[in-house]
Amino acid sequence: MTTPPILELRGVSKNFGNTLALHNINLEIANGEFLTLLGPSGCGKTTILRILSGFEAPTRGAVFLNGQEITSSPPELRQVNTVFQSYALFPHMSVWDNVAFGLRMQKRPKVEINQRVAEILRRVHLAEYGDRMPRQLSGGQQQRVAIARAIINNPLVLLLDEPFSALDLKLRKQMQFEIKHLQRQIGITFVFVTHDQEEAFAMSDRVVVMNEGTVIQVGSPQEIYEEPESLFVARFVGEINVLEGDIRAARPGGTYQAEVEGVPFILHSRREFAEGETVKVLLRPEDLKVYLEQEKAQQPPFFLGTINETVYKGATVDILRTLDNGKKLQAAEFFNEDDADITYRPGDRVSVTWVEGWEVVLNAEGE
Amino acid sequence: MERVPSPGASRFREASIAGTWLWLGLFALLPNLVLLLVAFLDRDTVGFFIPSLTLDNFRELFAPVFLGVLWDSIRLALCSTLVCLLAAYPFAYALAKAGPRLRPWLLLLVIIPFWTNSLIRTYALILMIGAQGLVNKCALGLGLIGAPLELMYTDFAVFAGMTYTFLPFMILPLYASIEKLDPGLADAAKDLGAGSLRTFWHSTLPLTLPGVVAGCILVFLPSLGSFYIPEILGGATNMLLGTFIKNQFLVAKNWPLGAASSSVLTLLLVLLAVLYRFTSQRAAGGYNAPLNARRDGE
Ligand SMILES: Nc1ncnc2c1ncn2[C@@H]1O[C@H](COP(=O)(O)OP(=O)(O)O)[C@@H](O)[C@H]1O
Ligand SMILES: [Mg+2]
C-alpha cells in the first residue's frame, strides 16, 4: 500500500480461557475504505471489533491506529466509535441527548454541540425526532440514531457489528444503501461485520472472509466470488458445483489437460499442479451452460446428463441435473428476450459445459 | 387477531385478581382508614377514644416535643439510609457482575440475615458492641484503647443497629436493577469517550435509580418506624418516632395521638411511592410516551 494504513492488526491472537477465539490475525485497513468481516457465527468477528474498540485486549499481537500503537489504550481514548449490534441507545435520554453524548464528553462548547447535533440528525433524516425517546422510535430509526451518535465525534474508524440483524429484509436493503451512501459522503473508514455474504458484497470495497478465528481470504467482492482460494470460501459466498478431476499434463501458460468426471477438458489456473494430481473443479451455477441434446450439435467436451427438476426463481431458473455418472449439478440460467422460454422437463437429456476459463481449480484438500 | 382466553381461564383470572383486592382491602386499606379515622377523634383514657371529631391530635404533632422526636428520627433514618446505600451499591454491583460460581455464595451472605429474625440479629449486635463485646475486646487486646468504649445505649448503637438490620433491604433492589442493566450501555458510554466515573454518572446511576429509590424507601421507612432497635440498643435520653407511637398506644393509652403520629409515616410512604414511580418512568424512557409514534416517518 502506498499510503500508510489507518488501522493495522499485527499477529493478533485472543484466547478466552481455553477457547482460541482469534489466531494470528494480520490485517491492514486503508483510510476511507469500507471493509467487511464476513464469516459464520462464532468465527471471531465481534472479538476483532472489540479489540479494535478497546473492550478486549489481545492475548498476543498489536493494534495500530494511524501509525500509533493503541493495543492497551482504553476505549474512551481511542478515536474509534462503534455502532453496537443491539444499538445500545441510552433509554433515559432523548434522541438529541443520545447524539450529543459524545460531544458533551469531549466538553465541546454548547453552540458547537447544538449545531453539530442538528446537522447530523438532518443527515440521517431524523431532524424532527430530537425530542423523542428511543423507545418511541422504530427499529430503523433507532439504527439511524445509533449511527448518528457514533459518527458525531468524527472517528478515524467506525465499527459496525451486524447492525441490520434486527431489521426486516426491505428495511435492511434500504439501510445498506443509506450506510454505503453515508460512508462515501463523510469518507470515514468503516469496518463492518456480517455473516450475510450478499450484504458484504453489496457494501464493501474489500471483504475479509473468516472461519474459526483465522482469516481465510481477503479481497474485493469480485475476487472472493470469482476466485475463491478454498472450498470453504467458495461454499460460504454462494452456491457452487464441485467436480472431481485428474491432471493429465501441464501445458505452458497455466493450462492443464485434465479429466473431469471422466471427460477430458482443458483447465485454466494460476496454481501449480503436478501430473497425476487429483483436483477439485469449482463452478458457479451461472457459469454452466446447458443444452438440450437434440438442440445443437455440441463441440466436445461436454457432460451428458438428465434434468431432475427446474426451480423458478423470478430472474433465474435453477436447473438440477444428474450426470450420467451419478454426480448432481446445479445450474442457473437468466431469462433473456431471445430465449424467452427455458423449457426443460424432468427426464430431458442434456449436455453441459462451461465457459472456458471460468472454472476454479483447487487441490484435493480444497485449498 | 385477538386471542380470546377460554371462559374458564378468564374466570380464574378474575377470581384471583378479586381475591388479591379483597385481601389488600381488608388487611391493608381498611386498618389504615380506621387509623386515619381514629386520628380525628378525641382521646379517652378508659375506652381508647370518644366518637367526637377534633383536630387536636394533629395540632399536637406541631408541638416542640413531637417535632423534636420527628427530627431526631428522620436524621437517624437518613444517616442509616445513606450509609446503607454507600455500602450496598458496590456490593450489589459486585454481586450482579460476579461469575456464576461466586454469585450464589455472595447472595447467600445477603439472604441469611434477610431470613433471620431481626430481633435476634439486634441482640447479636450487643455481643459485638457491648462493654464486653467483640469490638471492645479486640481494641483492648490490640492496645488501641485503654478502657472499654461505651458504644451501647448511644445514638451510634441505634444507628449501627439500623444500618446492620436494614442493609439487605437496600442490597436486593439495587442488585435487581443493576442485574437487568444492559452492559452494552456502559460500553456505549465508554466508546463515546466517557471514563469510568462519567459512565457511572451518566449511564449506570440514572438507569439504576429506581433500585436506589426502592432501596432507600425500604431502609428509610422501617428505620423511621422501628421501635425495637432503639429500645434494645438505644439510651433513655432520646425518644424516636417508633417508640413514641408505640407508647401512645400501649403506655399512654392515647390512641388518637398514636394514630395521628403514625399517619405521618403513611404520608411519607405515599410521597416516596410517587417518587419511585417517577424515577422508574424516567429510567425506562417514559411510560406515557405514545406508542403509536413508532409508526410515523418510516
Ligand atoms: N467473553 C467471552 N468469553 C468466552 N468466550 C468468548 C467470549 N467472547 C467470545 N467468545 C468466544 O469466542 C469465539 C468468537 O466469538 P465472536 O467474536 O463473538 O464471534 P462472531 O462475532 O463471529 O459470532 C466464540 O467461540 C465465542 O464463544
Ligand atoms: Mg458477533
Please report, for chain A, the start and end positions of each structural domain, with discontinuous segments joined by +.
Answer: 7-235, 241-363
Kindly list the structural domains of chain B, giving each domain's residue range(s) and its CATH number in brackets, ordered by start. 15-297 (1.10.3720.10)
Helix (H) or strand (E) holding A64: strand A60-65
Which chain A residues contact residue B191 at CB under 8 A?
Answer: 53, 75-76, 80-82, 150
Which chain B residues contact residue A81 at CB under 8 A?
Answer: 191-192
Looking at beta carbons, which pairs linking A145-148 to residues 24 or more positions away fall under 8 Å? A145/A87, A145/A89, A145/A95, A145/A98, A145/A99, A146/A83, A146/A84, A146/A87, A146/A88, A146/A89, A147/A83, A147/A179, A147/A182, A148/A99, A148/A120, A148/A121, A148/A123, A148/A124
What does the pLDDT look like over A278-321, one tens digit per residue? Answer: 999 999 988 888 888 766 656 778 888 888 888 877 777 777 87
Any atom of ligand 1 within 6 Å of the Cβ of A21: yes
Task: Round to whole Å and give the CA distance between A218 and A223.
Answer: 9
Q: Residue A81 in contact with residue A153, Cβ under 8 Å?
A: yes
Q: Residue B232 in contact with residue B158, Cβ under 8 Å?
A: no
pLDDT of residue B291: 39
pLDDT less than 70: residues of chain B? 1-6, 236-237, 286-298
pLDDT of residue B184: 92
Closest ligand to A43 CA?
1
Which of A55, A58, A56, A61 has the alpha carbon at shortest distance from A76? A55
**Which top CATH class is A241-363?**
mainly beta
State which of A12, A13, A18, A19 you would mutate to test the pocket of ligand 1, scoring each by most atoms of that ligand within 8 A of its C-beta.
A19
pLDDT less than 50: residues of chain A? 1
Which chain A residues contact residue B286 at CB under 8 A?
Answer: 133, 135-136
Question: Which of A 70-109 lie inside 8 A of B, CB atoms?
Answer: 74-77, 80-82, 84, 86, 88-92, 101-102, 105-106
Any atom of ligand 1 within 6 Å of the Cβ of A18: no
Q: Residue A251 in contact with residue A267, Cβ under 8 Å?
A: no
Which residues partner with A243 through β-bridges? A281
CB-CB neighbours of A30 under 10 Å: 16
Compute, in angstroms, the gap from residue A195 CA to the centroid of ligand 1.
14
Task: Round to whole Å and give the CA distance between A182 and B5.
Answer: 49
Q: Which CATH number, 3.40.50.300, 3.90.1150.10, 3.40.50.970, 1.10.3720.10, labels domain A7-235?
A: 3.40.50.300
Q: Looking at the partner chain, which of A80, A86, A133 has a beta carbon nearest the beta carbon of B184?
A: A86
pLDDT of residue B179: 93
Does A174 touch chain B if contact means CB atoms closer than 8 Å? no
Report strand pairing: A349-354 vs A360-363.
Answer: unpaired
Task: Round to whole Å and give the CA distance between B84 and A142.
Answer: 38
Give me Rg for the CA atoms of chain B.
Answer: 24
